[in-house]
Amino acid sequence: MSLTQDRNTPMKDTEVLVVPVAANTLIFAGSMVVANATGYAAPGSAALNLSYLGRAEESADNRGGAAGALQIEVRHGKAFCWTNDGTITQAHLFKTAFIVDDETVAAGDATGTRSAAGRIVGIDPDGVWVE
């Protein structure tokens, strides 16, 4: 049904997300965080069906815990500098980076075995900037 009058639509700041952590998971502060296939926060890894969330603002140790037993703050919507696995060059600017682990990105998806991290917005000696 479409509106017939003004609507007071709620909004939420999404720069820092609070996400429930996957079962039996340890996430380090400053690491790359993804949502796994069931929607829980996990460290970046070479796997399919992961959704890149951003950078962990804190550590979360949910080893031995059930999914959602802990939550973690994840900074989102910014560019973060991740380690280059050696395959990303200046020619990859504005192309997709793929997740290798919780701190590393690559130029390729390893024959369909890696999830996308985001768009490469800079390459420098410190690493690869991904948004």
Residues 41 and 86 in one domain: no
Name the 3-class secondary structure at 91: helix
Residues 53 and 99 in one domain: no
The band of 1, judged by pLDDT with boundaries at 50, 70 and 90, is: confident
In this prediction, residue 100 carries a pLDDT of: 98
The residue segments making up the domain with residue 119 are 80-130
- β-bridge pairing 16-20 and 80-84: unpaired
Q: Per the domain annotation, does 124 fall within a domain?
A: yes
pLDDT tens digit string along 76-95?
999 999 999 999 999 999 99
In this prediction, residue 52 carries a pLDDT of: 98
Residues 67 and 87 in one domain: no
Q: Per the domain annotation, does 46 fall within a domain?
A: yes
pLDDT tens digit string along 101-113?
999 999 999 999 9
Residue 65 tokens read as 């815990």
Q: Are 53 and 73 in contact (CB under 8 A)?
A: no
In this prediction, residue 5 carries a pLDDT of: 96
Which of residues 75, 98, 117 is at a domain's end?
75
In 3D space, the residue among 53, 48, 130 whose CA is nearest the CA of residue 84 turns out to be 130
**Cβ-Cβ contacts under 8 Å for 122 (sequence gap 6 or more):** 79, 81, 93, 128, 129
Residues 67 and 20 in one domain: yes
Number of domains in the chain: 2
In 3D space, the residue among 126, 131, 120, 69 whose CA is nearest the CA of residue 92 turns out to be 120
